[in-house]
Amino acid sequence: TKGKGLRPQTSILSNDRLDKVLAHLFASGKISITQEQLDLFQRIANVETSGQVQTLNTWDSALVSIGFMQFTMHVGKLQEWIRLAPAAFRRYGIELDPTVKYSFGSNQVDGIKGVPDASKNDLRWNGWAERLYYAGLDEDVIIAEVSLAITYLGKHLKDLKARLNNNVLYNDFEQNFYNRDRYIRG
């Protein structure tokens, strides 16, 4: 039955602060993260999840967003996350279905097995929200989220450098503002 009896495979709770969870995963050798990344992720979580390890959002235009990074389905970031930890997500009955595509405007993304039509909003409730919620508390899922978050941080910095289109300007920005100000990095 959809969602019935699901429980996270770990003792992580949704109201646990992200930095506490990530520090525990680091201390146990499960993630490799710098203090700067930990600080940045906590600042992102402060905005996205009120500082907590995860929140599930099923009421906005993104259809579903989850985790401290609030990776969304409509642009395929949630699907990227699932690809990084398929066995962990599968524990909660969540799998990608390569034969199903969801359309969001002109954007097409991979669908979820058992949910052939995203426009019916089944992923917002009917047991799917519970599956996604508990998956977001699973250590293996969080470890994959950290990996994807690190990748996206690198991508955002690369994009910023390209937008500034001038190494001198970017280097000045990086040295004088970005590296010195945690709020700008956040």
Residues 48, 9, 133, 71, CA torsion sign: positive
Q: CA 114, CA 2: separation in Å to the nearest integer?
A: 10
Q: CA 70, CA 137: separation in Å to the nearest integer?
A: 13
Residue range 42-57, pLDDT digits in tens: 999 999 999 999 999 9
Residue range 85-112, pLDDT digits in tens: 999 999 999 999 999 999 988 989 999 9
Question: Which position has the token pair 């508990």?
Answer: 134
**Nearest to residue 129, comparing CAs of 55, 37, 48?**
55
CA within 13 Å, CB half, 179: 7
AA letter at 14 = S
What is this structure's pTM? 0.83
CA within 13 Å, CB half, 12: 29
